[in-house]
Structures are given as structure tokens and as C-alpha cells.
Chain A
Amino acid sequence: MTPSAGSDPSLWVLFRGQLRRDLKLAFGQPSELANPLAFFVVVITLFPLGVSPEPGVLAGMAPGVLWIAALLATLLGLEALFRRDRDDGTLEQMVLRAQPLYLPVVARMLAHWMVTGAPLTLLAPLLGGMLNLAPEARLPLMLGLALGTPVLVLLGGVGAALTVGLRTGGVLLALLVLPLFVPVLILGVSAAELASSGLDPTGPLLWLAAGASFAITTVPFAIAAALRIGVETG
């Protein structure tokens, strides 16, 4: 299994190639790129309509609403994460390659985060402003999303990889991954809430950073193992 020099690309080239390919594919379909963001905005618009347009009420629930909407928007993009590659056989080639599956998986998840988690994070303070979120809570909210959405994308990636070969993936995927999202939701919301009540949000943000480091190092192994099974099920 040792790659011989010259014939096999080095791991770094593999990583960069995978990342570039995934980003190119993502930007090749701008509508699919915009859908989770539009969903994020629409869900947030429903809350003032459904609950109350009172500025005080909105400010109180803004962190939770923004985070839950981000959670659902992340979930929305997950189903397609490995589906196309599986349908056209690319996934099989990825699995059969001599190099470890870890790096292409990290590249894929990074690309996916760059087109879902990162724009959500950038959009959040604007929507927070519309929901009357306290100005001092906007930065902790953004930091929380920046640290938390990679974890969501990675945990979601496990679910997406496990359900890749299945016809009825969508609802099952939500059932599999939403319970695992709970700690990220709690920590992210409490960072924003602490800041909006004038307290120090460092604690939960540090926990989120720890969680993100742990998830980035370990979860791709689980995704890779799940993909191997997913290839076999088809």
C-alpha cells in the first residue's frame, strides 16, 4: 500500500486537488450554493411573524433562533454531500485509491464548510441586527458560529456518509445527526446570551474551540470508515 514516488501524487497535492475540485463543482451551481443561505434567511423571517415582532421578545430569543436556523440550514446541504460522487462512481475511486481516505475527506468537509458554514457565519450579525440582538453579542455569535459550524458539518458528514447508499436518506439523516448537534447548540447559544446580558462569553467559546479541534482531528476517520461501508451497500 505504500505509494511509490513519481506515479502517485503526494498527499498535499491530493488534498489541494480535492479541495479545488469540490469548490469548482460547488461554484458551478450557484443556485444550490444559495439555497441553504436563502433557507436560513427565510426561517429567521418566520419567527417575528410566528412568535412576536416585539423588539424585546425578539432580542431574547435571537441567539437561539439564529443558531437553530443555522443548524437546519447545515442539515439541508448535507444530503447532497456525497450523493453525486456516489452516483457517478467517483466515491468508489476515492475509496480505492492507495492514499488514506482521511485527507480527501478533510478537503471535502472544508470545501463544504466554506460554502455553507462560512457564509452563514458572515450573514448572522446582519440577521442578528434585524432580530434586535444586543450589539455586544454579535461578535460572540459570529465567533461561536465560526467555531461551531465546522463541528456541525463534520458530525453531519458522518450521517451523510452512513446514509449515502440509501434511497430514503433525508429524514433519517436528520434523526441521526440532530441529537449529536445538541452540545454545539447549547454552547453557541450560551456564548451569545452571556454576552447580551453583559457577561464574559469566553468560557463557552473556548469549549467550542476545543470541540472543533477534537472534531477536526477525529471525525474524518469516522466519515472515511462510513464511506467505505456506503460504497459497499450500493
Chain B
Amino acid sequence: MKYIPDALRRLWHRMGSPRWFYETTGPWVPWLAAAAALLIGVGTVWGLAYAPPDYLQGDSFRIIYIHVPAAYLAQAGYILMAICGVVLLVWRMKLADMVMATVAPIGAAFTFLALATGSIWGKPTWGTYWIWDARITSVLILLFLYLGIMGLRRAIERPEAAGRACAILAIVGVINIPIIKYSVDWWMTLHQPATFSVTSAPAMPAIMWVPLLLNVLGFNLLFAVSVIQGTRTEVLIRERRTRWVTDLCRGEQA
């Protein structure tokens, strides 16, 4: 611990305080939301209207601008939950539990979005809304893992116990995700039905990938701002009996 800079250590200790989190992140929210809206707006309009159509898939490839960021955040969200779980179990940091509780439904929503856009994309490319492709199947299992965590949190009444139970489940799940991923890939090599070649141009020209990059950044910010705002609400709910929250609410009423 001696080699960790003092400033970092102080920040770590401060993060243990939900109140500090609430007060610090308050001013960030509008800026983050505005940046997310700008990036997603520019990226989506560029991708839908100005990027050239794909030489094989035509215009149907344009759903990539929603699909890829959603699929990436679906996985990142679960990893974030597991990291929060470790922080909660090791350091007993209440804030980590609040973040974890907020990420679960948001991550599940992004997972669902990835599945839905993938399915819509599948219709023109593969001729069907659903095939048991390796990637689709592992994302579907990821959705089940999210639903399990949400169900467990609902079922346990005491929030502290619920948080630690979800932390254990998230850690077991995150160790399993790569195993599930590889086993499903391997299952596909055994069961390859017909060869659906997901053809895309070997390298996208800049006019096609720049809007994708903008959307990935924008979705990241959207995810961040949703998690921050959700965590702020969670802080208020869980700390509702403390002095500073009652003072805050009185101040807003006056």
C-alpha cells in the first residue's frame, strides 16, 4: 500500500461514501448526456444517410451502427458487475453494490437490444430471424445470466445480503462466460448447419467505420450516464434515512 500515491488512496476512500458520489457526479450528468446525444446523433445520421451501402448486403448492414455498440456494452456491463462484486466482497464498499444493482437492468437492456437488432439484421442476410449461431446463442445465455442476477436481487429482501449474494453470482458467472463462449463456439463447429457466411468487406473504408466509432463512443457515454443517474437514485433510496438526504429533499421542496 506504501507505493500507491496518496491522492489515489484518498479518492478510493472517498468513493466509499455514497454522499460524495452523489454530490460529485451531479454536475457531470447533463454534460455526459449532451455528449452522448451529440455523438450518437452524428454517428447514426452519418451511418444511416451518408455512409455508402455495403457492396454485398446493401443498406441492411446499416444496423451495425446500433448492433455493435449494444453487443459490446452487453458484455462490458457484466464484467463491470463482477468487478463491483469483487470490490463489494473485499472492501465492503456500499457504493459498489449500488452500481451493481443499477448495471444489471441496463446491461440486460443492452443485451436485449443486441439480440433484437441481430435478429432483424439476420432476416435480410441469412433469410431468417433466428438461427442457432454461436454468437447469438452465447448472447442469449448472457441475457439469462443477467435475468438470474436481477431475479436474485428481487427475491432477497435485505439489500445488503442481496448485494453480496449477487456479487457471488456475478463472479461465478464472469468466470463461466469465457467457458460458455468457447464451448458454444466449439458446439457450432460440430453442428454447423448450412454455411451462412457473414460477409462484410475485409476492411471498411473510413466513411463507414468513423460513424461506427462515434456510435461506440456515444453508446459508452449513454451507458455511463445511465449508470451514474441510476446509482444516484439508488443512493437516495438507500440513504433516505440519513440526515443529508432528508435535508436535500427539504431543500428541494422549499
Contact = CB atoms under 8 A, between A and B. Distances in A.
B171 interface: yes
B151 A172 contact: yes
Interface in A186-222: 186-187, 190, 193, 211, 219, 222
Interface in A146-170: 155, 158, 162-163, 165-166, 168-169
B184 A176 contact: no
Given A172-B155, A179-B141, A158 B184 contact: no
Contacts of A54: none
B56 interface: no
Contacts of A229: 161, 164-165, 168
A187 B168 contact: no
B122 to A, nearest CB: 21
A43 interface: no
A233 interface: yes
A contact face: mostly helix, strand, loop, or mixed: helix
B144 interface: yes
B156 A165 contact: yes
B147 interface: yes
A233 to B, nearest CB: 4
Interface residues of A, number: 29
A225 interface: yes
A61 interface: no
B183 interface: yes
Contacts of A182: 141, 180, 183-184
Categorize the interface residue count of chain B: 20 to 34
Contacts of B169: 158, 162, 176
Contacts of A230: 165
Contacts of A168: 155
A226 interface: yes
Given A158-B169, A186-B183, A233 B141 contact: no
Contacts of A180: 172-173, 176, 180
A172 B169 CA distance: 13
Contacts of A176: 148, 151-152, 169
Interface string B220-241: 0000000000000000000000
B187 A186 contact: yes
Nearest to A185: B183
A42 to B, nearest CB: 26
B157 to A, nearest CB: 8
A162 B152 contact: yes
B225 to A, nearest CB: 29
A130 interface: no
Contact of B172 (A166, A190, A222): A222
12 contacts: A158-B172, A166-B156, A176-B148, A179-B180, A182-B141, A183-B176, A186-B186, A187-B183, A211-B179, A229-B161, A229-B165, A233-B165
Given A180-B172, A180-B176, A233-B158, 4 more contacts: A176-B169, A182-B141, A222-B172, A233-B156
